[in-house]
Amino acid sequence: MNLSKGQRRTLVRILLAGAVLAMLGGLALGGVLPEAWYIRLPLFLIPYVLVGWDVLWSAVRGVLRGQLLDENFLMALATLGALVIDEYPEAVFVMLFYQVGELFQSIAVGKSRKSIAALMDIRPDEARVEREGSECVVDPDDVIVGEVIVIRPGEKIPLDGVVIEGRSELNTLSLTGEALPRDVAEGDEVLSGCVNISGLLWIRVTKPFGESTVSKILELVENSTLVKSKAENAVTKFAHWYTPAVVVGAVLLAVVPSLITGEWQRWLHSALIFLVVSCPCALVISVPLSYFGGLGCASRHGVLVKGANRLESLANTETVVFDKTGTLTEGSFSVTEVIPTEGIERHALLRLCAAAEQFSNHPIAVSLRASCTEAGAGELPHAEAREIAGLGVLAVIDGRRVLVGNAALMRREKVDFAEKCSAGTVIYVASDGKFLGSIVISDTVKKGACEAIRMLRQCGVKRTVMLTGDRTEAAKAVADRLQIGEYHASLLPADKVERVEKLLEEKQGVLVFVGDGVNDAPVLARADVGIAMGALGSDAAIEAADVVLMDDDPTKIADAIRISRFTRRIVWQNIVFALGIKALFLVLSVFGLTNMWAATFADVGVAVIAILNAMRTLRYHV
């Protein structure tokens, strides 16, 4: 077991104190140790101070700072009280066992942190950059956008960029949770944090290190542990009121029965046991550790969750709303049909449409330009274009006013056109008010989308809804194939927000919206939980979403829900177990039916068991 320097020191103190306590106990049992308190007390103080000086010092500092009622104060008060009533072995043992529990807790938390650090061990230490004809190794922060970095086999890619030379396979496991290597060649975009497997790559940097994918992920993981769940906040508030209450209860237990019976030592002993049992460390440690492990488990499966509160919300998911394009479908469109009107040739219509869309990054625009290139249409004419949100593009090409968009755009501009019914997306083209024809573009359903819907139903999700700006025919075709019972088509971005608002009014549990993170930021932010799908590296996704899926696999949504529910189950197991055992021992201590040794188990033993249970979240497999 790898222990830190501080943990090794604590272990040595525990072993030494335990040896001295065992020796003194043996002498006492053999009748060798004198009964006089002035001999026994100094001897037992040796192991007591050896193992507990840091607890005593923390208690003193807490008193000086006004923080009286933490576990250090309670443990110091209980053990010093045991010394006062001549229970020397019990005082030393309680402090010894408490330190054993604290050491175990420290090891457990450290192990969880190391596990998450190993999962997210994607921060590169250096970058090999070409400068003035030679390679030099620099810090990734010092690399400038536009410079060329060289990645050798086995090295991590330090910054986002585009491959300008070379061919290789990339291990994306740390980013996406996907074990299958990804082939890259010249022209492909690559993300920082991936590991180059085989070939030599030359990559032109497109983002500074502070804006790279690896930096965003590391920042997101670090910040996620700072956001507490409702259960964590409830435990914190509970401990705030619980600890003073048990201290008052211990004082009353020591004083009131003693005034009645006159048995001061017996009831003081019961009050000290009461204090030991009351330490809330099992809850205060195990609940945050459970959520910490759940966040780490989700990261290992390629799901980044922005905080324990989001992980907790996922467990109550009853409604999942999907964007269509790029979420349930590939978003990689292809032209399947070109239908010109009389008087215009097929390639001319396609070329005019591509020219109007030549500056757009929308998937439909990209597919139009790709089809135009494949058709050998040559260089596109210059266009001055303006995008009309949710409708299409208005462009001026060679002095002509060209409209490229959906049927709503044609109707708005009062163009007399022939509307076409198709399962694909229909793009209408008009010039100077005259309808020129239409182009049908089809998208394909994502691999795994059907399985994702089925898995969500297995998880108990009661309602799945699809929202899209596409036409009703295209939306219906996708919904029927995926067996999504409810869909809403021809929605503008503002309409999607309005539709989600209505769904929020109707829902009972948590509503999750899943989008591609490019143009769904308002809806992602409005939903109870927003999940950015397949948007690794997208600024909009990471900013607006509560959860980021680090690959393009929609089945990870169900995985995230399962992890959240398992984490919640572990949290409640720990809460019920800890409070139940403590309540039992508190009652037993009131009636004098337990001793300090058993009380120590009720505190430290319960904490150890709860911590072990909490660590199961880190090892959970969906």
User: Are the beta carbons of 610 and 578 closer than 8 angstroms?
Assistant: yes
Write the CB contacts of 259 (distance below 8 Å, at least 6 apart in sequence): none
Helices and strands in the chain, H and E counts: 21, 22
Residue 392 to residue 410: CA distance in whole angstroms? 10
Residue 602 to residue 586: CA distance in whole angstroms? 9
Torsion of CA 415, 420, 425, 428, to 10 degrees: -20
Write the CB contacts of 398 (distance below 8 Å, at least 6 apart in sequence): 381
Give DSSP secondary structure letters for 481-516.
HHT-SEEE-S--HHHHHHHHHHHHHH-SSEEEEEE-
- Starting at the edge strand found earlier in the chain, the sheet holding 148-151 runs 134-138, 127-131, 148-151, 201-205, 161-165, 189-190
Calculate helix-pair angle for 281-300, 88-119, nearest 10 degrees.
20
Q: Would you call 459 helix, strand, or coil by DSSP?
A: coil
Q: Note the Cα 318 to chain centre separation in Å.
A: 20
Token output for 578? 């800890």
Q: Find where tokens 């309808």 sit.
A: 435
Residue 295 phi/psi, 5-degree rounding, is -65, -40
Kindly report the number of other CB atoms within 10 A of residue 403's CB atom: 26
Q: Find where tokens 């009703």 sit.
A: 472
Token output for 93? 């043992």
Cα–Cα distances in Å, from 403 out to 29, 71, 207, 280, 390?
A: 99, 72, 35, 68, 13
Concerning whether 323 is annotated as a catalytic residue, the answer is yes
User: Are the beta carbons of 590 and 270 closer than 8 angstroms?
Assistant: yes
CA atoms within 13 A on the CB side of 294: 36
Kindly report the number of other CB atoms within 10 A of residue 248's CB atom: 10
Q: Would you call 99 helix, strand, or coil by DSSP?
A: helix
Cα–Cα distances in Å, from 412 out to 387, 406, 417, 466?
A: 14, 10, 12, 26
Residue 106 to residue 556: CA distance in whole angstroms? 32
How far apart, in Å, do the first and last CA atoms of the chain sit?
Answer: 28
Instruction: Considering the candidates 54, 139, 183, 323, report the single residue annotated as catalytic.
Output: 323
Residue 601 DSSP class: I
Which residues participate in catalysis according to the annotation? Answer: 323
